[in-house]
């Protein structure tokens, strides 16, 4: 049985206290499976702690064995707070970003700066990368002054961007050609979880690097999964975001339909929040969607990228995904209407536009 974890609701095998936070290790066994659905009966229930898991074996992190010098490439919505949390935890951080000005707040917190990914990688033990898409992830890792040029045996590269498996494997191969280790580690969780150190890491690749950077992942996240070979982390992330993109499109349709038939969409948000389809995403984004406001946490252009990559993944194994394909079309319409940099909840605007267009016909 595979396992999954949710905050505050599972069976515990071991508890240890680290840095004043309750941290847990969960051992998967045949006799004592980890039950984690909301229907399982918890042995313990806490309001806030971090749960760490690996699919293949138990794993705790030792903050005393943290890599001494940590690089961070890509300081956008996600990368900035992730790097900031590492700095606040006392890590020795060196940063680079294409637009240099985004490095300044981190430099003022104590980060060092290097002028290329190559220089960051050369000066650090491990280097994280949080880039927009497959093209930028590949360029930053393998381009002219890319991180691979600064890599050598004993170092590690951790790509936390959301990319497809083929891109991740290509980056991994180029990094490993230098003798360094590679881990793909895309994250579930958006801007706020990144700020709060509550991300979920979906890792795959070199197990020894996973263990080496576990204390760093535990600073930035609430859980980490090790999923085996490179490509599995990317695939897991794309499946999760495919579901999320379809959910948001469906929610948008429901909100507009409720309004059209004379209901108050604010009441719909409340009704949904109390039932079996309740979701933090609907509760958090619904109220601002009612006001046609879309403060960006997860840019719509990235959600459409993830749907596109998920559809390619589905096609590669001949898996029908008609719901996701329809949702993708909606995000494409939203992008064509200039909503790329808005939050992905702005996909609702594509439906409003469609309805207006239809009513004119
Ligand atoms: N926002 C979210 O909620 C989440 C996002 N993700 C994923 O994380 C990744 C980053 O997302 P997010 O931080 O939101 O995105 P942003 O758009 O805020 O940041 C993108 C980063 O990529 C850099 N970049 C873009 N193109 C290039 C390029 N050609 N060369 C070098 N650097 C480039 C940007 O640099 P510059 O500043 O110069 O533009 C910036 O640092 C994406 O893969 C996204 O899908 C995953 C989970 C949640
Ligand atoms: O890739 C973005 C994921 C956003 C989220 O998990 O809330």
Asked if residue 195 and residue 275 are part of one domain, the reply reads no
Q: Which residue among the candidates 237, 285, 301, 305 is catalytic per the annotation?
A: 237
Q: Are residues 209 and 287 both part of a single domain? A: no
Spell out the alpha helix ranges (H) of 100-231.
Answer: 104-108, 117-123, 134-142, 165-176, 191-196, 207-220
Q: Are residues 78 and 217 both part of a single domain?
A: yes
Whether 180 and 115 map to the same domain: the answer is: yes
Same domain, 204 and 312: no
Q: Which of 228, 254, 288 is the last residue of a domain?
A: 228
Domain ranges, residue 55: 2-59
Residues 67 and 210 reside in one and the same domain: yes
**What pLDDT does residue 10 have?**
29
Q: What is the CATH number of the domain that holds 253?
A: 1.10.1040.10
Spatial CA neighbour of 306 closest among 186, 222, 192: 186
At residue 31, the pLDDT reads: 25
Please list the residues that pair with 204 across neighbouring strands: 184
The pLDDT value recorded for residue 27 is 27
CB 141 within 8 A of CB 159: yes
- In a shared domain, residues 127 and 40: no
Give residue 304's pLDDT: 99
The domain boundary residue, chosen from 228, 261, 289: 228
25 in the same domain as 140: no
Q: Are residues 141 and 252 in the same domain?
A: no
Domain boundary among 18, 33, 59: 59
CA 241–ligand 2 middle distance (angstroms): 7
Beta bridge partners of 106: none
DSSP-assigned letters across all residues of 86-115: HHHTT-EEEEE-SSGGGGHHHHHTT-EE-S
Retrieve residue 16's tokens. 């240890």
What gap in Å lies between CA 113 and CA 330, rounded to an integer? 40
Pair 4, 200: CB distance under 8 Å: no
Q: Looking at the structure, tell me whether residues 98 and 117 fall in a common domain.
A: yes
Per-residue pLDDT of the chain (361 residues; tens, 9 = 90+): 233 333 333 222 323 233 333 333 332 222 222 222 222 323 223 333 454 554 433 467 777 778 899 999 999 999 999 999 999 999 999 999 999 999 999 999 999 999 999 999 999 999 999 999 999 999 999 999 999 999 999 999 999 999 999 999 999 999 999 999 999 999 999 999 999 999 999 999 999 999 999 999 999 999 999 999 999 999 999 999 999 999 999 999 999 999 999 999 999 999 999 999 999 999 999 999 999 999 999 999 999 999 999 999 999 999 999 999 999 999 999 999 999 999 999 999 999 955 455 555 4
Bridge partners, 93 (sequence order)? 70
pLDDT at 316: 98
Q: What total number of domains does the chain contain? A: 3
In this structure, the answer to whether residues 300 and 195 fall within a common structural domain is no
* Among protein residues, the one whose CA lies closest to atom 6 of ligand 2: 189
CA 213 – CA 104 distance, rounded (Å): 25
Contacts of 268 (CB under 8 A, 6+ apart): 254, 255, 258, 286
For a mutational test of ligand 2's pocket, the pick from 189, 239, 296, i.e. the residue with the most ligand atoms closer than 8 A to its C-beta, is 189
ipTM: 0.99
Ligand 1 atom closest to the Cα of residue 80 is 13
Distance 300 CA to ligand 2 centre (A): 11
> Does 215 lie in the same domain as 186?
yes
d(CA 203, CA 350): 34
Task: Report the distance separating Cα 120 and Cα 249, nearest Å.
Answer: 40
Is 350 in contact with 337 (CB distance < 8 Å)?
yes
The answer to whether residues 303 and 327 touch, using CB atoms and an 8 Å cutoff, is no
Nearest to 4, CA basis, from 20, 24, 26 = 26
CA–CA dist 339, 80 (Å, integer) = 23
Q: What is the DSSP string of 1-25?
A: ------TT-B--SEEEEETTEEEEE
């Amino acid at each position: 049985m595979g396992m999954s974890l949710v905050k505050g609701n599972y069976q515990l095998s071991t508890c240890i206290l680290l840095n004043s936070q309750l941290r847990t290790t969960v051992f998967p066994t045949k006799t004592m499976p980890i039950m984690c659905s909301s229907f399982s009966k918890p042995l313990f229930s806490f309001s806030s702690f971090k749960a760490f898991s690996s699919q293949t074996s138990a794993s705790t992190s030792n903050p005393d064995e943290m890599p001494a010098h940590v690089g961070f490439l890509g300081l956008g919505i996600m990368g900035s707070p992730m790097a900031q949390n590492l700095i606040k935890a006392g890590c020795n951080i060196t940063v680079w970003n294409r637009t240099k000005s985004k490095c300044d707040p981190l430099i003022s917190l104590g980060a060092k700066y290097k002028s290329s990914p190559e220089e960051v990688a050369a000066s650090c033990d491990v280097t994280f990368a949080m880039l927009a898409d497959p093209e930028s992830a590949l360029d930053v890792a393998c381009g002219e002054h890319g991180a691979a040029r600064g890599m050598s045996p004993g170092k590690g590269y951790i790509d936390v961007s959301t990319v497809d498996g083929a891109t991740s494997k290509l980056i991994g191969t180029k990094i490993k050609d230098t003798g360094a280790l590679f881990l793909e580690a895309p994250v579930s969780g958006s801007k706020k979880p990144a700020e709060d150190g509550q991300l979920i890491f979906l890792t795959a690749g070199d197990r020894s690097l996973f263990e080496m950077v576990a204390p760093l992942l535990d600073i930035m996240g609430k859980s980490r999964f090790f999923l085996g070979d490179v490509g599995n982390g990317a695939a897991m992330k794309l499946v999760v975001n495919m579901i999320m993109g379809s959910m948001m499109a469906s929610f948008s349709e429901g909100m507009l339909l409720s309004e059209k038939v004379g209901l108050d969409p604010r009441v719909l948000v409340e009704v949904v929040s109390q039932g079996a389809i309740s979701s933090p995403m609907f509760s958090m984004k619904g109220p601002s969607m009612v006001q046609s406001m879309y403060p960006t946490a997860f840019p719509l252009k990235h959600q459409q990228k993830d749907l596109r990559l998920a559809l390619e993944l589905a096609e590669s194994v001949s898996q029908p995904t008609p719901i996701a394909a329809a949702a993708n079309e909606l995000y494409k319409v939203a992008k064509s209407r200039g909503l790329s940099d808005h939050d992905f909840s702005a996909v609702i605007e594509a439906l409003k536009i469609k309805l207006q267009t239809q009513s004119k016909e």
